[in-house]
Amino acid sequence: MPAAAVLSRRRLPLSDVRRLSTVGLRTRKLRAGLSALGIAIGVAAIVAVLGLSASSQAGLLNEINQLGTNLLTVSNGQNVTGGTAELPTTAPAMIGRINGVQQVQTTGTVNGANAYRNPYIPPVNTNALTVQAASLDLLSVVATSVAQGQYLNGAIAQEPVAVLGAAAAQRLGIDRVYPGERIWVGRQWLYVAGILRPAVLVSAIDSSVLVGYPAAEKYLGFDGHPSTIYVRAQNDRITVVDNLLGATANPENPSGVSVSQPSDALVAQAEAKSALNGLFLGLGAVALLVGAVGVANIMIISVLERRSEIGLRRALGATKGHIRSQFLSEAVFLGLLGGVVGVALGVASTSVYAHTKGWATVLPPEACLGGFTASLIIGAVAGLMPALRAARMSPTQALWSV
């Protein structure tokens, strides 16, 4: 068959396909740019959401590390009858003798005492505050500090004086400390000495009104039993100390003691995916979909507008396959352009936001790779139908019905 001899090559070399794929872009820059923008926004949204959540997680973990992961808390659990198993008053001293323990501080819940702004507040409005007797070096152990005023010291721990946790101050409506300021606690006025900063590791401190041990016993009828013991241990001995704490704190009833490591819970919390991430990823996916529709739309219009070009190319010897691959590669190129711009935008917004928050910029590689891949696939899918249309167009119609 003579025709076989005619055929030498049919496929265009890749360099020609690449040149052809940018024809539409070069002729109609604004339009191509806008249609790529749709995909860019979608990709940017997805990359930014993944990048921001990774960066904020890294930031939080970093913060937790700075606060120290060597804090252990010992609190009173329940005894066999279901009542509270009080920790012995000797427990802090016993724990302090465990090899590897650096610091021991305690708080003791003052049962039956509630804190109010003044005596006229109805007793049921407790604001979910607890009144705690606190030891004098508590702040360094729970990694917080005084925001205003001062903390308890040996002298004022004897007096009817309270220090408010961050949340407690807010709930009582106290935003600053001034001389003579007082709150009503358990039928007794207590003077406010200071307000604390939020304690990230131990949020129980935030909603507490802290009073010195001697004062709590003298004015509020506190029984002197610590309810929570905060222990800082040497990093390399945390596990050992952890195992010994229960039996040491309450040798008679070790099972009535609950020991925990607050940083563990926070780390778990930080690593848990935020529900909002799903929402934003969904929004990003919707933007991508809209972008894909935009590209498909532009490509269809482009095929209609470029009838004469299609006809001419057919006359110059292009096969249907050549036309198809030209328009398909143009759509893929638009998609890829959107993907590159989108990933760049996503990375830029992530790093700007992380920078303002003081976090390290963390970008999951799968976010960037996924962005590129998604834009590539979207371009191909969006361009498929227009490309098939262009290839189906008969050269005579394309050339003689303009």
Partner 1 sequence: MSGASAPLPDHNAAAANRSVTDVAAAPILEVDNVTKSYCGEPPVPALRGVSLAIGPGELVGIVGPSGSGKTTLMQLMGTLDRPTSGQVRITGLDIATMADDDVAYLRATRIGFVFQQFFLAEHSTVLDNVADGLLYAGIPLKQRRQRALDTLDLVGLAKRPHVRPTQLSGGQRQRVAIARALVGQPAIVLADEPTGNLDQATGHSILALIDQLHRAGSTIVVITHDHAIAERLPRTVGILDGRIVTDTGPVADTGSLLRPLAVVEEAPPPAAQAATGAPVHQEQPCLPPPS
Among positions 10, 83, 123, 356, the unique one binding partner 1 when judged by CB under 8 A: 10
Residues in 301-320 at the binding interface with partner 1, rule: CB under 8 A: 308-309, 311-320
Q: Of the ranges 5-13, 64-72, 98-106, 199-207, which one interacts with partner 1 (CB under 8 A)?
A: 5-13
Q: Is 15 in the site for partner 1 (CB under 8 A)?
A: yes
For partner 1, the closer of residues 117 and 307 by Cβ is 307
SS3 category, 97: coil
Q: Is 324 in the site for partner 1 (CB under 8 A)?
A: no
Shortest CB 14 distance to partner 1, Å: 12
Shortest CB 317 distance to partner 1, Å: 2
Q: From CA 376, how far away is CA 363, in angstroms rounded?
A: 20
Among positions 6, 14, 268, 275, the unique one binding partner 1 when judged by CB under 8 A: 6
Question: Are the beta carbons of 168 and 129 closer than 8 angstroms?
Answer: yes
Q: Of the ranges 7-15, 127-135, 264-272, 340-348, which one interacts with partner 1 (CB under 8 A)?
A: 7-15
Q: From CA 191, how far away is CA 174, in angstroms rounded?
A: 12
Pair of tokens at residue 117 = 């702004």
Shortest CB 346 distance to partner 1, Å: 31
Question: Are the beta carbons of 124 and 165 closer than 8 angstroms?
Answer: no
Helix (H) or strand (E) holding 46: helix 29-67
Q: Of the ranges 14-22, 34-42, 137-145, 292-300, which one interacts with partner 1 (CB under 8 A)?
A: 14-22
Shortest CB 342 distance to partner 1, Å: 26
Place of tokens 């009858």: 81
Q: From CA 232, how far away is CA 245, in angstroms rounded?
A: 12
Question: Are the beta carbons of 277 and 364 closer than 8 angstroms?
Answer: no
Q: Is 400 in the site for partner 1 (CB under 8 A)?
A: yes
Query: What value, to the nearest 5°, has the Cα angle with vertex 386 and ends 385 and 387?
Result: 90
Q: Is 30 in the site for partner 1 (CB under 8 A)?
A: no
For partner 1, the closer of residues 237 and 307 by Cβ is 307
For partner 1, the closer of residues 7 and 268 by Cβ is 7
DSSP codes of every residue in 208-240: EEEEEHHHHHHHH------SEEEEEE-GGGHHH
Place of tokens 């904020």: 56
Q: From CA 107, how far away is CA 73, in angstroms rounded?
A: 11
DSSP codes of every residue in 247-314: HHH-TT-GGGEEEE-HHHHHHHHHHSPPHHHHHHHHHHHHHHHHHHHHHHHHHHHHHHHTHHHHHHHH
Report the first-to-last Cα separation within the chain, whole angstroms: 37
Q: Of the ranges 11-19, 142-150, 201-209, 290-298, which one interacts with partner 1 (CB under 8 A)?
A: 11-19
Question: Are the beta carbons of 195 and 164 closer than 8 angstroms?
Answer: yes
Residue type, 208: S
Shortest CB 378 distance to partner 1, Å: 26
For partner 1, the closer of residues 165 and 311 by Cβ is 311
For partner 1, the closer of residues 296 and 318 by Cβ is 318
Shortest CB 36 distance to partner 1, Å: 18
Among positions 198, 255, 321, 357, the unique one binding partner 1 when judged by CB under 8 A: 321
Q: Which residues lie near partner 1 (CB under 8 A)?
A: 1-3, 5-10, 12-13, 15-16, 19, 23, 26-27, 308-309, 311-322, 394-396, 399-400, 402
